[in-house]
């Protein structure tokens, strides 16, 4: 009987030990089940959420050579009226992003349509990209014109069937009707599309604030900032709704100048605070409305930049003020780089590289587009311009083209 307590104690210890073992095994099983369950869920998530497909513009960018990227930043002009072997060879060498038509290119309605169609096909073939799977991608070409109304409507040069004449924007502004401006935008778009164009360098967002101004005048909607802002945005909306890309011009405001930048360099002595009160207002409103492209003028603003660098070549104007101060993320295009305000003061190669360094994305009508392309290429190879800077512009250009030009006829 003396051993009974010992036996009982031993049995209790065994029972307790078994209980503890069962608990340990159960815990291990639970952990194992949880781990397997998590793995199953992870596999399910992976299967139901595959790796996102790369954006088309990024895939195209990755397959472009540096020369092709730089070409996309150039809008060319020339004197051809038909697609000649010389014209085709020029396009093949430049691989431009687009073309602008002028009076000198325009003949009959049928001839003008044929020139634009041939130019489009040649540009898109020359700049085509081959993807890894062998797919050939033709990047849409910008086909553009200055078709504002009033004194600037190139398509009036069509010899047999010119489009309807459109009144100067000053008259549209005097109507105080945003609906009239919108309908004018629709009409301008139809005129552009009738010959195959997809971008119009309109509206003019300058305020006609200097009666001695000879280059803007009645091209502006008016003399006060509210009228200009309201009307330019309405006209741009009309263009956009009819699938023609509008371009607001001429930043930061060409309305208070006397000189004509086609002939010489205009100088504006206003400070940034003064521009904020007037000239910048329509552009700020345009940005708030979703402006896709803004054109920068060839005007010097020494009170802001500290020198006489034209706005189109100035990092202060393009990057610091337009992009950062006004928070603009769209495309910046220069005014024509073949205008005397630049060519009288800079070499063609320097004009191109300075415009890119300043922050411009599209370079309109370099005097020699091939020279401009080679100058930018050399600057990248020397490290003066980074390829990242080029990619920044080309990414914006490709995004715009793929979203807005893919369905144009």
262 flagged as catalytic: yes
Number of H helices, E strands in the chain: 16, 13
Our CA angle for 278, 281, 284, nearest 5°, is 155
Beta bridge partner(s), residue 248: 294
Helix (H, G, I), strand (E, B) or coil at 138: coil
Structure tokens at 317: 């104007």
Stated as kind and residue range, the H or E segment containing 136 is strand 136-137
In angstroms, the Cα distances linking 152 to 37, 131, 168, 245, 369 are 71, 42, 9, 17, 24
Half-sphere exposure in the Cβ direction for 209 (13 Å, CA): 21
Catalytic residue among 146, 206, 256, 335: 335
219: nearest Cα among 267, 290, 162, 147: 147
| DSSP labels, 353-382 | HHHHHHT-SBEE--SSHHHHHHHHHHHHHH
Catalytic residue among 63, 103, 262, 288: 262
361 flagged as catalytic: no
Q: Could you tell me if 261 and 297 are in contact, meaning their C-beta atoms sit under 8 angstroms apart?
A: yes
Q: Which residues are catalytic?
A: 262, 335
């Amino acid at each position: 009987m003396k051993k009974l307590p010992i036996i009982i104690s031993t049995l209790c210890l065994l029972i307790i030990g078994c209980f503890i073992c069962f608990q340990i095994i159960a815990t291990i099983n639970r952990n194992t089940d949880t781990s397997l369950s998590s793995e199953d869920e992870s596999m399910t998530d992976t299967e139901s959420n595959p790796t996102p497909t790369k954006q088309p513009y990024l895939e195209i960018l990755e397959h472009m050579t540096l020369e092709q990227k730089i070409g996309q930043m150039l809008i060319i002009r020339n004197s051809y009226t038909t697609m000649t072997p010389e014209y085709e060879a020029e396009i093949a060498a430049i691989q431009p992003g687009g073309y602008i038509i002028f009076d000198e290119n325009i003949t009959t309605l049928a001839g003008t349509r044929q020139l634009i169609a041939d130019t489009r096909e040649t540009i898109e073939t020359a700049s085509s990209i081959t993807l890894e799977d062998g797919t050939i991608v033709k990047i849409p070409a910008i086909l553009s014109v200055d078709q504002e109304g009033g004194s600037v409507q190139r398509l009036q040069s069509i010899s047999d069937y010119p489009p309807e004449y459109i009144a100067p924007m000053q008259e549209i502004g005097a109507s105080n009707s945003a609906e009239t401006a919108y309908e004018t935008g629709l009409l301008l778009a139809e005129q552009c599309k009738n010959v195959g164009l997809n971008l119009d360098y309109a509206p003019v967002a300058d305020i006609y604030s200097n009666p001695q101004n000879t280059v803007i005048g009645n091209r502006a909607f008016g003399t006060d900032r509210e009228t200009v802002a309201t009307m330019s945005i309405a006209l741009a909306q009309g263009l956009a709704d009819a699938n023609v890309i509008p371009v607001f011009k001429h930043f930061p405001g060409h309305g208070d100048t006397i000189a004509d930048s086609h002939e010489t360099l205009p100088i504006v002595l206003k400070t940034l605070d003064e521009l904020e009160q007037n000239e910048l207002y329509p552009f700020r409103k345009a940005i708030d409305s979703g402006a896709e492209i803004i054109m920068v003028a060839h005007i010097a603003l020494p009170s802001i930049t500290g020198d006489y660098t034209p706005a189109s070549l100035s990092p202060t104007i393009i990057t610091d003020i337009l992009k950062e101060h006004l928070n603009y993320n769209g495309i910046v295009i220069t005014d024509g780089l073949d205008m005397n305000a630049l060519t009288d003061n800079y070499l063609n190669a320097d004009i191109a590289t300075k415009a890119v360094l300043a922050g411009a994305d599209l370079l309109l009508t370099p005097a020699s587009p091939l020279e401009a392309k080679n100058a930018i290429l050399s600057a990248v190879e020397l490290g003066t311009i980074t390829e990242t800077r080029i990619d920044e512009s080309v990414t914006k250009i490709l995004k715009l083209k793929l979203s807005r030009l893919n369905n144009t006829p």
